[in-house]
Amino acid sequence: MDFSGKVVLVTGGSRGIGRACAVAFAKAGATVVLTYAGNDAAAEEAVRLAGSKAQAVKFDVADTGACTKCVDEVVKQHGRLDVLVNNAGVAVDGLLVRVKDEDWDRQLDTNLKGAFALARAAARPMMKQRSGAIINLTSVVGDTGNAGQAAYAASKAGLVGLTKALAHELASRNIRVNAVSPGFIDTDMTSKLSDELRTKLIGLIPLGRLGTAEEVAASVVFLASDAASYTTGEVLKVNGGMYM
């Protein structure tokens, strides 16, 4: 899995799974551009961990114009774009009858529309290269649903449909589109769970533990690599057997 000479764009790359992806691609030799929405300190730390071939770009993926601008700048600076990892996401939990329109819109705009806008922008240089890989990070709740996460689950299920549609559309240009569906991963988001809820969740996982961001990143790197050259339109579940 050698990414020397390749350029990789990872959204939401300052923390958690995104940071792990940025570091993993950098270790494999790639030039990595990671994006983030607001935490400058976290972005600086991610760049430090990824090394000298990494850089950070600050923008909101819910802004489709900013998505296009980011991709254009990456191609202008580096001459190409080989891999897009749509990882940026947000969750605003709330029961259906209490969900505000703005909370619904924020999650769909960030998690789904942002991924669409970035894929649309990235497809152009990839089509010219006649090569590329797009990896979308969905979630186990996109398959199972989850009480209190109607918008989040809908956005992640939408990413699965987007992945499969783009896989059909872009295959003739040698662009592969796949998704990785993490289960419960040990990140900043899950660290906020109570011990009781954490224990309950682990009880639902056949492997008996939460996953790590690095384990998810390994699957992302695999799907982006030549080792997966005959794989497109797939959703790789990384959930410890929680949902099969």
CA triple 146-240-143, angle to 5 deg: 30
Averaged pLDDT score across all residues of the chain: 96
Asked about 230 being catalytic, the answer comes back as: no
Determine the Cα–Cα distance for residues 51 and 38; give it in Å rounded to an integer: 21
Whether 33 contacts 25, CB under 8 Å: no
Those residues whose C-beta lies under 8 Å from the C-beta of residue 30, and which sit 6 or more positions away, are 3, 4, 6, 7, 8, 53, 82, 83
Residue 192: the pLDDT is 77
Determine the Cα–Cα distance for residues 71 and 37; give it in Å rounded to an integer: 16
Q: What is the pLDDT of residues 147-176, one digit of tens each?
A: 999 999 999 999 999 999 999 999 999 999
Q: What is the pLDDT of residues 195-227, one digit of tens each?
A: 898 899 899 999 999 999 999 999 999 999 999
Q: Would you tell me which CATH number, out of the four given (3.40.50.300, 2.50.20.10, 3.40.50.720, 3.40.50.2300), belongs to the domain 7-234?
A: 3.40.50.720
Per-residue CA distances from 230 to 15, 72, 176, 236 (Å): 30, 28, 8, 14
Catalytic-role residue among 36, 152, 230, 243? 152
Domain coordinates in residue numbering, the chain: 7-234
98 residue type, one letter = R
Determine the Cα–Cα distance for residues 70 and 64; give it in Å rounded to an integer: 10
pTM for the full predicted model: 0.96
pLDDT at 178 exceeding the cut of 90: yes
As a whole number of angstroms, the longest Cα–Cα distance in the chain is 52
Give residue 71's pLDDT band: very low, low, confident or very high (50, 70, 90). Answer: very high
